[in-house]
Chains A and B, each alone.
Chain A
Amino acid sequence: MNKMQKAMRELAEMDELAARTSPIHALHPAAKLIAAIAYILVTLSFGKYDLSGLVPMVLWPILLFQISGTEVRTCFYKLRIVLPLVMAVGLFNPIFDRSAAAQLGGVVISGGVISMLTLMLKGLFCLMASFLLMATTPIDLLCAALRQLHVPKMLVTLLLLTYRYVGVMTEELAVMTEAYLLRAPGQKGIHISAWGSFLGQLLLRSMDRAQELYSSMLLRGYHQHFHYAGIRPFRARDALYLLGCILFFLLLRRVNIAQMLGGTLVG
């Protein structure tokens, strides 16, 4: 399976996840979007040594995973993209920051190790938040919510149109790549002699296709106004969910629950 086929499978997987039903899926997309952004903001606002304060933030995504019936495994698969850069930056922390920050048994843990772990947890939590948003919200509804939040029409329409064409283009390129590689056995990629023509040919064809697409849009009555998916109004339970989430995040930000629980137990 080549890269493009994998990407298509990933897109289809996200679409399938978003198409299911659960109490979280039923919420208004705007509430879910704002809650996800608030969660990421609060997660990022933790200090770089505040590992014990950050750990309880895991409760919100875990709760959402459970209520929405989403498998955590799918989310971890996506970590392969986020973690390398975060690791590349974070792995230097233990080298440059050697100040002793904590002691466990006889082992002194340096500040660098704590800040590295904090950074990685932040990466994981932020990924889970945006993954949960997309796994419980179809793109059409998200775009409709973006319009309600006054994101410019041109940008939202472009996002929706591009998303629809990403599938078509990726599939076409996947077939082209497969065909090329079958005729060039043992070759890892596109040879320099075909660098321009390989994508260029598809590009020219696509530009013509875009013109046809515009004509067909006009025939169906497009007057520079795009009809978005029918989105229900923002109800009290959406507001309640959003308020509950934000209060929960603020509580976790203000009170170090891990430290408190540990303190009462250890004394």
Chain B
Amino acid sequence: MHMADALLAPAVAATMYAASGVTAGISIHKLKKDDEPQKLPVMAVTAALVFAGQMINYTIPGTGSSGHMCGGMLLSALLGPQAGFLSMIVILAIQCLFFADGGLLALGANVWNMAFYGCFVGYYLIWRPIMRSRWFGEGRSAQRARIIAAAIIGCIATLQLGAFSVVLETSLSGIAELPFGAFVALMQPIHLAIGLVEGLITAAVLVFVFEFRPELLQGVERAEGENSKRSLKTVVAILAVVALVVGGGLSLLASSNPDGLEWALFGNAEEGYAENMGLDEEDFGVSSKAADTAGAIQEKTSFLPDYAFSGSDSAAGTTVSGIVGAAMVAGVAILICLAGGFFRKKKKTD
């Protein structure tokens, strides 16, 4: 789900940087207030482990394909949301800087899409309420079932939110021609399946930690004794089916109304929304004095004003001169390469 720089407009990238930066600032403030200096090495080692752990292939039984683990949920369950968020930032930064996974400018958006939802939404709205609840009854196996439920629901929900944000950011950047609704309909179901598998893997790791060192998990009470007789496999199966049905239903809802954003702006014209807001569907902000002046300025300053017209001679001329120019740039680039090679060879012979 890592976004590349190319998919973002500078304004969208800057906004996402600001949002992620503010969240990071608040997290750092909270961690400083807690004053636990020993937490820093724990965060670093766990982040490094999650980074490496995301490369492990887990075989999905009966499919032949493999899945990976969900870093945000695992980190916030182990370290808490703030420390988990900072650790995720660092993981994403290393992935972007050394492995070109994501981009320098897209880092803010990636942090938001993967770390914010995974850590804050996943922890405060899913992990903590479920851990505090009395789902599945009392005792150790009920606790185990709650961890599995929280991990699966958390991964599915946070991945859905992340995928939706990717679509929203790309659409707002105005780079892709793929309509918003179609993009959503493409992204959400794919990430539903990914979320389910990631949830199951994350649940398996968290249950293992719970069995041996329950004190390492955030917000988990150390329940003693075996009261519940519920089988673990049954719980996993029930949860998986429920998650699939709920998530699938949501994705279908999303795709049955594919142009949600456009509908929200223009579709409910009968309610007088467009009129109230001064919007005109046919002539959206085109005919105004300011627009005319802007158009005239644009006409004069734009480099390739002919792009909008087809088949005219001037368009052909533009194309040819553009290509010739590009070829000349390529020639200059090759010259630079040759010059570099020449100097290096000279150095070697010296």
Contact = CB atoms under 8 A, between A and B. Distances in A.
Contacts of A232: none
A239 interface: no
A134 B308 CA distance: 40
B284 interface: no
B59 A192 contact: yes
A101 B307 contact: yes
Contacts of A154: 28, 31-32, 40, 86
Contact of B7 (A89, A93, A131): A89
A148 B244 CA distance: 49
A130 B96 contact: yes
A115 B177 contact: yes
Contacts of A206: 45-46, 48-49
Interface string A65-90: 11101000000001101100110011
A102 B104 contact: no
A169 B104 contact: no
A161 B319 contact: no
A108 B318 CA distance: 13
Chain A interface main SS type: helix
Contacts of B101: 81-82
A210 B42 contact: yes
A187 B61 CA distance: 11
A195 to B, nearest CB: 4
Contacts of A164: 44
B3 A109 contact: no
B56 interface: yes
A195 B321 contact: no
B320 interface: yes
Nearest to A180: B56
Contacts of A44: 5-6, 8-10, 13, 105
B177 A92 contact: yes
B188 interface: no
B56 to A, nearest CB: 6
B87 A262 contact: no
Interface string A44-58: 110011111101101
A258 interface: yes
Contacts of A133: 97, 104
B328 interface: yes
Contact of B311 (A3, A85, A100): A100
Contacts of A108: 310-311
Interface string A232-267: 000000000000000000000000111111110110
Interface centre among B9, B45, B56, B66 (most CB of A within 10 A): B45
Interface in B1-24: 2-10, 13, 24
Nearest to A90: B176
A264 to B, nearest CB: 9
Count class of interface residues, chain B: 35 or more
B290 interface: no
Count class of interface residues, chain A: 35 or more
A179 to B, nearest CB: 13
Contacts of B3: 85
A24 to B, nearest CB: 12
B300 to A, nearest CB: 14
B268 interface: no
B277 interface: no
B93 A102 contact: no
Nearest to B9: A44
Nearest to B3: A85
B304 A259 contact: yes
A145 interface: no
B98 A92 contact: no
Contacts of A213: 41, 45
Interface in B307-345: 307-311, 315-326, 328-330, 332-333, 336-337, 339-340, 344
Nearest to A89: B176
Interface of B: 2-10, 13, 24-25, 28, 31-32, 37-38, 40-49, 51-53, 55-61, 64, 66, 69, 78, 86-87, 89-91, 93-94, 96-101, 103-105, 170, 174-179, 200-201, 204-209, 212-213, 216, 303-304, 306-311, 315-326, 328-330, 332-333, 336-337, 339-340, 344
11 contacts: A14-B98, A44-B9, A49-B307, A86-B7, A89-B175, A122-B5, A162-B43, A170-B51, A203-B46, A203-B78, A262-B320
Given A59-B332, A165-B47, A210-B41, 20 more contacts: A52-B326, A58-B333, A66-B337, A66-B340, A85-B7, A119-B176, A126-B4, A127-B4, A152-B25, A154-B28, A155-B28, A159-B94, A162-B44, A188-B64, A192-B59, A195-B58, A196-B207, A198-B56, A199-B53, A200-B208
* 4 interchain residue pairs of minimum CB distance: A100-B310, A262-B325, A66-B340, A258-B325
